[in-house]
Structure 1
């Protein structure tokens, strides 16, 4: 029995040695193709961490931010409107609701949206305010909504991205489930780079992070294995970014 165990162990050692030889040959082949005399055995040095100084200092003017954000957001199928103030945003939403026949609307429970007075502007629509009725199935209400209305916490012009945070009064379903999403972006929240937004989360610390951080870059886009693109399968098929200010 001992002799059999020793023979088995020798066989395993031979397999391991052969495997290491093949690995070494393979890695040396890669090194040769890269023009190196031998394979690297130590990890390369990384003297820089994070974004370089020139990128951290890079910033567009507000008009450049508006122009770049608009171009980038439209390039992926989104819609952008530049509006003077919140009254203009209210009128824009009311006009689109009338144009599209929107009857069911859900919005976040935020003071800025309360001040809009959408209930008066959309008297014929059924407007629900997220999480205000504990007996309501809010995910179902958001899924059946024609319009979802939120206010962006941030937006990045360079990537054409909108950032929406989740909270008790700001359910993620409001931006993920309705057919049409309306995002109000106060101009002071439109940044040049995504890094300007991300550093706020680092500064807050893990214990102070919101329940969800969502980056929205146009309508939902999905493709199958044959790259057949479909819009609106996993989220709103129509997204309006309303730049206000």
Structure 2
């Protein structure tokens, strides 16, 4: 910027130069594709999902089959159990098999009723946000297991949805080494759209601070596409489909 230029003139000059470079780039791309540039905004006569997709639905058994297939394809594990007694048995067995020493769970009635403290007295079991003086993010990062209950799940994408609240910390599903997600079978839907409509209905002001879509363990890849599991989240994810949640 010269002394003769004002700040606004300098910004305008930079914008003009940037637009010229953008035009040149787009022209080169169009030339290489051997077709004219599209300069008009395309018409979009349809908005949202088509009607046939909104009506698409699988049977309960098909939802279980497709959810299992899609979750396992992403590297997760799916176990279908009858009730919470089997959930408790799975957690206690897995904790023993994996030599877990710390478990962090959400502060929910159904998880309290599992009485994991009585079944696993040798393991340090923490309950999210039950002590305001605890550094909960550090606790989550040090946990071997994170235990949460899914608010929703979609069979078509193999996704689980976990929403945050004061009793349901985001860190419980994001930081432990192993994540165990309990999914009441009635919360398993066919399409993701069946879940997203609920968020529209409650309105932006009523949405929680965090809505997390989990589709298997954390997966990261560098610029050479070398895949690494568990860098930015749990490296092992178990989804427990429960017929009788209460």
Q: TM-score range by the shorter chain?
A: 0.7 to 0.9
Other-structure match for 2:27:
26
- The offset of 1:145, in angstroms, is 0.6
1:119 aligns with 2:117: yes
Q: RMSD of the TM alignment (CA)?
A: 2.4
CA contact (8 A) 1:178 1:235 kept: yes
SS in 2 for 1:77: coil
Distance 2:150 2:29 in 1: 52
TM-score (norm 1): 0.85
SS in 1 for 2:113: helix
1:195 aligns with 2:193: yes
1:211 equivalent among 209, 212, 217: 209
- The offset of 1:47, in angstroms, is 1.3
Distance 1:211 1:41 in 2: 39
Structure with bigger gyration radius: 1
Other-structure match for 1:146:
144
Structure 1: state its 5+ residue gaps. Answer: 1-11
2:71 equivalent among 46, 70, 73: 73
Other-structure match for 1:186:
184
Other-structure match for 1:90:
88
Structure 2: state its 5+ residue gaps. Answer: 1-12
CA contact (8 A) 2:27 2:37 kept: no
Other-structure match for 1:6:
none
Distance 2:87 2:162 in 1: 18
Deviation sequence 1:70-114 (CA, Å, 0-9, x none) = 000001110110101111111101110011111110000011111
- The offset of 1:44, in angstroms, is 2.6
SS in 1 for 2:212: strand
Query: How many residues were matched structurally?
Result: 226
CA contact (8 A) 1:27 1:39 kept: no
Q: 1:141 to 1:220 in 2, by over 3 A?
A: same
Other-structure match for 1:9:
none
Question: Deviating runs (4+, > 4 A) in structure 1?
Answer: 27-30, 38-41
- The offset of 1:179, in angstroms, is 0.7
Distance 1:158 1:204 in 2: 24
SS in 1 for 2:70: helix
- The offset of 1:178, in angstroms, is 0.5
- The offset of 1:122, in angstroms, is 1.4
